[in-house]
Structure 1
């Protein structure tokens, strides 16, 4: 019989009839021995029980192995050590395995690389966090198993400030009866994190429930030359802190039974760089910064709890210290007298207790800031609690020139024909000559630069008009003549 052809003249394959296939399968099924079918059904019924037995047996065996042949260390969630371990695991284990499972969430903060994010409404980026529960790896001839609690991970995901690292309880296990390899691994993780963070300052603040300290942000180290105030005072401040942090100084204090503490007061008008200087000092000396906003502290016992959880090697920033109630009872002269507070739930006695009370810890640097130094109680400002006072006032012409040169440094100029440093210095002198002494804060001048970053020539030409407008506006707001600001004494 001839084969059928399609329109193109090429032979088709044999036509397959689905009904023939069904009839063939039905015929073979009818030939199946019913005893075999029963065996298959019996095996299917036994399989779940066998699986449960195998899981139970493995659990017993693993528990026995874990008890006698595995050492482990558990690190609580949100502990700084937890973050160090997770950072190392993500960089050296998870990343190399090209993980395919992630948890997606919207970033709580805009990315640092989005230059226009602060200027317009923009959607936040999606953040993809590696989704892993248990991972194992070899490190220095030891087998490690790192497990994390997904229950605590899910709880952390609900916190808008969580960045996906170090928010869950970890268990680090090692095959062997000694925990020494785990301790060595933890030290390796800490060293790795310290190297990664050497160009950043970690700022800690209380979480939204006020329960624990959490990393608020990690900021690139800010150079001290970006904070403009008297150069002589700046050098004295740096020298004092450097001497305090010297291990020899610590030994001298302890050998003489002196409390190893150091306190500083940064005071001056708003916008003069008090918080910026604190951040720059933390970066200069490689310290973490713990931020305490005094008006937000609910009560003295909360302040005490906060200080008990702060490590010794750090900077504690007490902002707006003047918000503490400072009025004494009439006739009281003791440093720890009762206090009438009408501005904050935190009292003076509570602040003094965390600074140098019986339970206060040593080794920290405490920086207090205020816009109203005249309102501070003498008990707080005496030596031993505040060892050095630093006035940050309005900008001088010398600092204005330094600020201009920094803003328009040839290294930062991306134009086709950048000006050299001598031309920038000349424009800087022209610019500074238009700035009245002690009339504007550094933040006001920075606002001018933000609008005139395209050209140093335009900035030098536009400053006179800007100064005239600002002085006119300030005179109307204050209703008084602009005069040189005197250095406050208290």
Structure 2
């Protein structure tokens, strides 16, 4: 290395030059001690005036800072006076709709900030996952991507929107809640309203044959949470007399009509409708509830009164936050043990012959008289109290209606009682035909698999033969002895072979009848 130039350097700290005398150098000398020396050394070694570079950099930085300041000033002005927004909280059903729609939009764009979520629903759509032997091979679900926390921009119908996803604590500070806020540059929020209407219609088109199910969750407070979105059950798959089904559908249809609400209001009658589905287990009470939800396009809100942590105030809050049109399902209401608070309970001492033992009588408290923490009066107040919600369809199911308090099922609270019975001959026949009848989609899929190396998926007979087999099947089973669920469970074990279902029927029937005769819950139990 040539050090000749370095040896010729003259370190004159008092020397002044154009570089050292300019304004940036003077300012930098105050900030960086020894800057003048460094500047002179660099200039003599490289011939580059650092002051020029610093001046250029300072000019660029100043322009950038000024631009950001002006941009933020203008943006803040527009946000304040020319931006409208609508917020959607996570306890509203629209929250998931907006999030799903945004996820689909962002999957089609080049967003750089996303949140990965395992998509379990995607695997349900794939039928081509079996091998050459017809054995199903489960594949791990693929991720889908949705809006992450923070803000992001998107365009819809030529208009620019901004969405911000954030999480905040509730007013009590006990648990986290999420919300989405959608912004647009407009003097009114109408563009955002139009967007939300578009999203809602998009979701309806996606779920024309689906029923959303909500349950009450406890996360520092009770709120409705969407638990599933299941295929709507066709009404004809419910084992119930056709006249009864027609009467229920007609009654609910009239109740839900907007003119009916005005008719009730004009006469001072609360706009409510309650139904009691009662009958043995497995007769289709819950199935009919979900089938009705599919018929009318309603969401189902399930409440468990057996939850010991559910308080009376929380129950009222849940009913108050119901949408205008929905089905509220109270399953197995008899198991909740609802009693009047003043109802006495007599408890005998374990040793009745003991001289020191006496019959003990105590008055049951609210917690003693029910398996849950909800009293009968609290439930009645939530159903039809002075401030109770109107417009929904209330369905209560029970296996033992005689155990229910008369106040709970009086007219006005329960307007229609529907009795479910054990399977009749006609219901047995219909269940067999429905189990082994193929839909058009199944016929196409079955033909495609039959033409391949895979084995056929079923041994379904032609309609005429199937009808004859159904008659034989129903004739060999006594009426009013088996529940539709028991018959369906038997057929499900042989769902691809109706002839096998006929061949095994006598043995299964005799074993079931013997178990019922002995009062055993397990088939073949001694």
Partner of 1:268: 279
The equivalent of 1:195 in structure 2 is: 205
Q: Kindly indicate whether residue 240 of structure 2 is the aligned counterpart of residue 240 of structure 1.
A: no
Residue 33 (structure 1) aligns with:
47
User: 1: CA distance between counterparts of 2:81 and 2:428?
Assistant: 69
Q: 1:441 aligns with which of 455, 460, 483?
A: 483
Secondary structure of 2:222's aligned partner: coil
In the other structure, the counterpart of 2:333 is 321
The yes-or-no answer on 1:137 pairing with 2:150 is no
1:467 is matched with 509
Greater shift, 448-457 or 380-389, is seen at 448-457
Change (3 A) 1:144 1:287: same
**Which shows bigger deviation, 459-468 or 54-63?**
54-63
| Displacement of 1:185 | 2.1
State how 1:372-387 maps to structure 2 within 5 Å. Answer: 372-387=400-415
Partner residue, 1:128 = 144
1:458 matched to which residue of 2? 500
> Matches of 2:501 and 2:138 in 1, distance apart?
29
Which residue is 2:94 aligned to? 81
Within 2, Cα distance between the matches of 1:78 and 1:444?
A: 38
State the distance in 2 between where 1:387 and 1:220 align: 28
Q: CA deviation at 1:110?
A: 8.9
Which position in structure 1 is the counterpart of 2:469? 427
Q: Name the count of aligned residue pairs.
A: 430
Deviation at 1:89, TM superposition (A): 3.5
How far off its partner does 1:173 sit? 1.9
Q: Which residue of structure 1 lines up, in the alignment, with residue 12 of structure 2?
A: none
Q: Deviations over 1:111-155 (max 9, x none)?
A: 4347899x999675242213453123142x5x23131225579xx
- Assess, with a 3 A threshold, how the Cα gap between structure 1 residues 422 and 99 changes in structure 2: closer, same or farther: farther
Further displaced range: 242-251 or 108-117: 108-117
TM-score under structure 1 length normalisation:
0.78
Distance 1:151 1:55 in 2: 28
The equivalent residue for 1:306 is: 318
Q: Distance in 2 between matches of 1:425 and 1:298?
A: 50
CA contact (8 A) 1:101 1:130 kept: no
- Do the aligned residues in 2 keep the contact of 1:326 with 1:347 (CA within 8 Å)? yes
CA–CA separation in structure 2 for the residues paired with 1:110 and 1:179: 35
Where in structure 1 are there 5+ consecutive unaligned residues? 1-18, 20-27, 154-158, 160-166, 332-337, 480-490
Q: Where does structure 2 lack aligned partners over 5 or more consecutive residues?
A: 2-41, 170-174, 345-364, 451-458, 522-526
Aligned residue in 2 for 1:175:
185
Residue 432 (structure 2) pairs with residue 370 (structure 1)? no
Please tell me whether the aligned partners of residues 410 and 420 of structure 1 are also in contact (alpha carbons under 8 angstroms).
no
SS state at 1:437 partner: coil
SS at match of 1:62: helix
TM-score between both structures, scaled by the size of structure 2: 0.73
- Residues 194-213 of structure 1 mapped to structure 2, 5 A cutoff: 194-209=204-219, 210-213=221-224
Which SS does the other structure have where 1:72 is aligned?
A: strand
Q: Is the 8 A contact 2:341 2:369 kept in 1?
A: no
Q: 1:149 aligns with which of 155, 165, 168?
A: 165
Q: Deviations over 1:445-464 (max 9, x none)?
A: 22212210121122122222
SS of residue paired to 2:482: coil
Question: In 2, are the aligned partners of 1:395 and 1:440 still within 8 Å (CA)?
Answer: yes
Q: CA separation of 1:47/1:375 partners in 2, compared to 1, >3 Å: closer, same or farther? A: farther
Give the structure 1 partner of residue 430 of structure 2: 402
User: Counterpart in 2 of 1:8?
Assistant: none
